[in-house]
């Protein structure tokens, strides 16, 4: 059967999340006079990412709200930087601190250069959609800001509204349903090997792992590797060739 639809992850697949995060946290720390007091500013970025991974996992597990994980990230990050009283910041205080970071982060929001051209090339031939482990309103706003939202229409499935997160098969199947296609006629493209590639494959979709770093990591059977979205259209055709 032909591939008739393509579902995408958002962060670090279509959208350069890593760059915007780095720009946002370093600029915010500079604004509040903390960056120059840190012996290794790059270590602060690593700490921010580690804290984010921990607290975002709690959000995906239903232990925190989307806003709640932002507040907890702020408290834990500042506490681990040694800021007195950080763990006891009120929600309003944490929200204000996070908003300073988010203002810099959002100003740096950008699609990867290959994302728009790839979507425009696919649009005449495939149904396109999103499956993301995130908040629906946040991802919709982000995709609109970087000029990609119109490619997906209403086919935007996020974990907050669906009720479960990747790699659960159900969220991939919900994405396929949004396209009006069965899983075996849908490809999924994402940058996380376990969540995206293995999850999509195990859900019965054609799995494409976007390894932008060209890590040369061995992959399991049934997973196709991309290093750029530029080659996606050709790869979709090649995936069906015995």
Residues 167 and 177 sit within 8 Å (Cβ to Cβ): no
pTM of the model: 0.95
What does the pLDDT profile of the chain (242 residues) look like in tens digits?
799 999 999 999 999 999 999 999 999 999 999 988 888 888 999 999 999 999 999 999 999 999 999 999 999 999 999 999 999 999 999 999 999 999 999 999 999 999 999 999 999 999 999 999 999 999 999 999 999 999 999 999 999 999 999 999 999 999 999 999 999 999 999 999 999 999 999 999 999 999 999 999 999 999 999 999 999 999 999 887 55
Say whether 13 sits in a helix, a strand or coil. Answer: coil
The phi, psi pair for 190, rounded to 5°, reads: -155, 165
Sorted by where each begins, the domain ranges of the chain are 5-16+110-238, 17-107
CATH topology of domain 5-16+110-238: Rossmann fold (3.40.50)
C-alpha closest to that of 19 among 188, 196, 212, 199: 212
d(CA 242, CA 232): 18
């Amino acid at each position: 059967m032909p591939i008739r639809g393509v579902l995408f992850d958002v962060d670090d697949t279509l959208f350069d999340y890593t760059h915007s995060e780095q720009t946002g946290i370093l600029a915010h720390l500079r604004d509040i006079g903390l960056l120059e007091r840190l012996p290794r500013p790059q270590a602060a970025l690593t700490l921010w990412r580690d804290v984010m991974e921990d607290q975002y996992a709690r959000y995906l597990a239903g232990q925190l709200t989307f806003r709640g994980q932002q507040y907890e990230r702020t408290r834990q990050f500042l506490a681990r930087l040694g800021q007195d009283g950080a763990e006891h910041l009120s929600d309003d205080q944490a929200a204000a601190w996070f908003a300073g970071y988010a203002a810099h982060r959002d100003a740096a929001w950008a699609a990867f250069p290959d994302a728009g051209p790839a979507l425009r090339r696919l649009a005449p031939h495939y149904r396109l959609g999103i499956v993301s482990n995130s908040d629906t309103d946040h991802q919709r706003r982000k995709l609109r800001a970087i000029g990609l939202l119109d490619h997906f229409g209403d086919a935007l499935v996020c974990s907050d509204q669906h009720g479960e997160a990747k790699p659960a098969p159900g969220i991939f199947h919900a994405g396929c349903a949004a396209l009006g296609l069965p899983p075996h006629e849908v490809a999924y493209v994402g940058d996380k090997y376990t969540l995206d590639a293995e999850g999509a494959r195990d859900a019965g979709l054609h799995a494409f792992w976007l390894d932008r770093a060209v890590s040369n990591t061995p992959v399991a059977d049934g997973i196709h590797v991309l290093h750029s979205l530029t080659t996606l259209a050709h790869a979709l055709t090649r995936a069906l060739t015995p």
